[in-house]
Amino acid sequence: MSISEAIEKKLTEALKPERLAVLNESHLHAGHQPSFDGSGETHFRVRVVSPLFDGMSRIERHRTVNDLLADEIAAGVHALAIEPAAPGEKTRW
């Protein structure tokens, strides 16, 4: 299973999202470090709308996602952009 698939599976099971997008943005970071060509699965953007976020602060939502993905982060995910929302909240996507 790829890292993006593992992220999607964990977030789907835990957050029961109405909407979820796991975007591999590694290619956007090519050349930021001399040895990084943008291949692989190191940089992600997670867009998630979940009823479990209702009543949570933005920080609590980010902590929830980071806690769920702690294994992936420890295994080499270098960057994780999180765009969490509760149902009915405005999103930019």
d(CA 90, CA 1) in angstroms, rounded, equals 32
Residue 53: enclosing H or E segment and its boundaries? Answer: none
Let me know if residue 92 belongs to a domain: no
**Is residue 29 predicted with pLDDT exceeding 50?**
no
Strands 19-24 and 79-85: unpaired
Let me know if residue 29 belongs to a domain: yes
pLDDT attached to residue 27: 55
Q: What is the pTM of this model?
A: 0.85
Let me know if residue 48 belongs to a domain: yes
Let me know if residue 57 belongs to a domain: yes
Q: Cβ distance 29 to 22 under 8 Å?
A: no
d(CA 78, CA 15) in angstroms, rounded, equals 22
Greatest mean pLDDT among 26-30, 73-77, 86-90: 86-90
